[in-house]
Amino acid sequence: MSDPKSPLAISLCVLLALALTGGTGALAADPPKTDAAKSKPMKMDEPMSGEMKKEGMKKGDVKKAAEKKDREMREKMEKEQQSAGTVKK
């Protein structure tokens, strides 16, 4: 391996370069997905999947709970702003 241009030396250099970069060069060159390749919208009446699911829980239940919490918090924030506004005047 005294000759730096030997096929063995070249292949070792390439392998070393891939190992050092983690081989991410090919992943970075992937084109973005087009609209046709995007996933379909989630069906909210299907059962939940995953570790955090509860028995009988549907996918739409999480969205409904988040919207309810948002409404409650918005009402509390408005009341707090109104009370703070009257104190400052």
Give residue limits of the domains in the chain: 43-89
Owner of token pair 């090919």: 26
Give the pLDDT confidence score for residue 24 in this predicted structure. 55
pLDDT digits (tens, 9 = 90+) for 17-27: 777 666 555 55
- What is this structure's pTM? 0.39
Using the predicted structure, report yes or no on whether residue 8 has a pLDDT greater than 90: no
Using the predicted structure, report yes or no on whether residue 77 has a pLDDT greater than 90: yes
Burial bucket for residue 23 (CB in 10 Å: 0-12, 13-18, 19+): exposed
Using the predicted structure, report yes or no on whether residue 89 has a pLDDT greater than 50: no
Which of 44, 40, 43 minimizes the C-alpha distance to 60?
Answer: 44
Q: Which residues pair with 47 in a beta bridge?
A: 58
Give the pLDDT confidence score for residue 86 in this predicted structure. 62
